[in-house]
Amino acid sequence: MKKLNAGLIGYKFMGRAHSNAYRQVNHFFNADAYIVPRALCGRNQTAVRAAAEKFGFETYDTDWKSFIKRDDIDFVDITSPSNMHMEMALMAADEKKHIFCEKPLAMTAKDAKTMWKSAKSAGIVHQVGFNYRFVPAIRLAKRLIDEGKLGSIYHFRGLYLQDWIVDPNFPLVWRLDKNVAGSGAHGDINAHIIDLARFLIGDFKKVMGMKKTFIKRRPIVESMDGLSASGISSGNMGDVTVDDASIFMAEFKSGAVGTFEATRFATGRRNGMSFEINGSKGSVKFEFERMNELQYYNASDPSYQQGFKLISATESEHEFAGAWWPPGHIIGYEHTFVHEMYSFVQAICSGLKANPDFEDGYICCKILDAVDNSIKEGGWIDV
Ligand SMILES: NC(=O)c1ccc[n+]([C@@H]2O[C@H](COP(=O)([O-])OP(=O)(O)OC[C@H]3O[C@@H](n4cnc5c(N)ncnc54)[C@H](O)[C@@H]3O)[C@@H](O)[C@H]2O)c1
């Protein structure tokens, strides 16, 4: 069978999720190629060597520029923080390597557009890491909407609620630095519910938002470790330069209206991503922390039977679910990465467009930027 040699940049949160997915794809799906964990890239030699051993990579590197030029890798998988995505992706496209890049695709819509255009003209396959599109229960929501079961859509209500920085002494990790992350809750987690809204109900027309930073200064740490921030404090304080919460309203081209709330200050909510969609014939509701389930309300049920029913999206007819276990044997977060990696492999092998691709990543950045502009200008902004 065909082999695809992976060159993965980054080995922490997303690096672990992606490299785990490489191993699982062919175990459960009949993909047209299998992924070889060929080379891993990070900045610290000791740490990247240890990660390469642990994750089963054949080799490792500490310089991403020479790494991308290696002729023994077929695709570059970018899981570094957002400020590095563009430079890395542009070089990979120049080298005609296929690219998988984490979200948000770039720091600005302008950069994201440059990435999309250059990947497109290089003729490579490009995919962006909106992994929630690959949850079987969310695919079921899409199927019900596409089949017209919800009728005309009136409302999209999206929430992405976390609480990992509620403690004011939580240190100044890279996600709180605008120069590295681009934005806070906005680009990190609003990006996911924006993409889901587009995936499920279509394109945005206009937006109006607000953002808030509750804790403006935090302890500086000498080293950090993604969301867990295990670094040692230097004793100094530094400025938080991103939003802690980002909330906006939207109108869709279809005429539907939406509300979006992303926050890292929803005390008690760890990864509370949820949405509800209401249409003329029914509604659906999804909550990530119960990701195998979709709630569906059918307005044509006789009134004495009406109510939301809970569907366990674990049957073989549920997209991606059938590849795993018998019905009712539930799947989890890591499976979303296996599904997206399977999709990426199939796009490379078939030469067809990946979905979601850099154009989707760019449109998401355009919506994020439009919300920022609406805050600056104090009114509605067309997307
Ligand atoms: N799809 C999702 O649900 C999801 C979840 C978390 C993060 N992300 C995205 O993934 C990206 C990474 O986030 P994370 O949580 O994995 O971060 P992280 O801090 O856990 O890991 C970042 C990795 O990038 C490496 N890195 C940083 N700069 C580098 C450089 N110059 N050269 C080589 N390696 C470098 C670090 O060594 C580390 O291994 C971000 O864009 C983030 O928005 C997506």
Q: Residue 181 C-alpha to ligand 1 middle, in angstroms?
A: 10
**Which ligand 1 atom lies nearest to the CA of residue 17?**
16
Fold match, 2-132 / 136-290+292-331: no
- For 220-242, write each residue's pLDDT tens digit: 987 776 666 666 677 899 999 99
C-alpha to C-alpha distance for 283 and 291, rounded to whole angstroms: 17
As a whole number, the mean pLDDT across the chain is 97
C-alpha to C-alpha distance for 22 and 154, rounded to whole angstroms: 39
Q: Show the DSSP H helices in the chain as ranges.
A: 13-28, 45-55, 64-69, 85-94, 109-122, 136-146, 178-181, 185, 191-201, 333-350, 358-377
- For 302-336, write each residue's pLDDT tens digit: 999 999 999 999 999 999 999 999 999 999 999 99
Q: Residue 224 C-alpha to ligand 1 middle, in angstroms?
A: 12
C-alpha to C-alpha distance for 48 and 21, rounded to whole angstroms: 19
**Which ligand 1 atom lies nearest to the CA of residue 51?**
39
Centre a 10 Å sphere on the Cβ of residue 180 and count the other Cβ atoms it contains: 17
Poorest-confidence range of 102-111, 188-197, 215-224, 317-326? 215-224
Integer angstrom CA distances of residue 327 from 281, 290, 314: 28, 16, 5
Centre a 10 Å sphere on the Cβ of residue 82 and count the other Cβ atoms it contains: 24
Q: Is the CB of 296 under 6 A from ligand 1?
A: no
At 117 the pLDDT is 98
Q: Residue 78 C-alpha to ligand 1 middle, in angstroms?
A: 8
- For 231-279, write each residue's pLDDT tens digit: 667 789 999 999 999 999 999 999 999 999 999 999 999 999 999 999 9
In degrees, rounded to 5, the angle at the alpha carbon of residue 192 between the alpha carbons of residues 54 and 91 is 60
Within 13 Å and on the Cβ side, how many CA atoms surround 55?
Answer: 33
Sorted by sequence, the CB contacts under 8 Å of residue 45 that are 6+ apart come out as 62
Q: Residue 152 C-alpha to ligand 1 middle, in angstroms?
A: 39
**Position of tokens 């997915």?**
21
Report whether CATH 3.40.190.10 matches the domain 136-290+292-331.
Answer: no
Share of residues in the chain with pLDDT > 70 (%):
98
Tokens of residue 67, six digits: 């790494």
At 234 the pLDDT is 72
pTM over 0.85: yes
Domain boundaries, the chain: 2-132, 136-290+292-331
Q: Is the CB of 187 under 6 A from ligand 1?
A: no
> Which residue's CA lies nearest to atom 39 of ligand 1?
10
At 235 the pLDDT is 80
At 310 the pLDDT is 98
Ramachandran region of residue 127, left (φ > 0), alpha (ψ -120 to 50) or beta? beta
Mutate to test the pocket of ligand 1, among 48, 57, 61, 80 (most ligand atoms within 8 A of CB): 80
Mutate to test the pocket of ligand 1, among 11, 14, 134 (most ligand atoms within 8 A of CB): 14
Q: Residue 10 C-alpha to ligand 1 middle, in angstroms?
A: 6
C-alpha to C-alpha distance for 8 and 64, rounded to whole angstroms: 10
Q: Pick the residue with more confidence: 197 or 234?
A: 197
At 228 the pLDDT is 63
Mutate to test the pocket of ligand 1, among 19, 102, 179, 188 (most ligand atoms within 8 A of CB): 102
Q: Is the CB of 16 under 6 A from ligand 1?
A: no
101, containing H or E segment: strand 98-101
- For 126-183, write each residue's pLDDT tens digit: 999 999 999 999 999 999 999 999 999 999 999 999 999 999 999 999 999 999 999 9
Domain 2-132 sits in CATH at 3.40.50.720
Q: Show the DSSP H helices in 33-186 as ranges.
A: 45-55, 64-69, 85-94, 109-122, 136-146, 178-181, 185
Q: Is the CB of 348 under 6 A from ligand 1?
A: no
At 232 the pLDDT is 67
At 233 the pLDDT is 72
Three-state DSSP class for 140?
helix
> Which residue's CA lies nearest to atom 17 of ligand 1?
226
Within 13 Å and on the Cβ side, how many CA atoms surround 292?
Answer: 15
- For 19-73, write each residue's pLDDT tens digit: 999 999 999 999 999 999 999 999 999 999 999 999 999 999 999 999 999 999 9
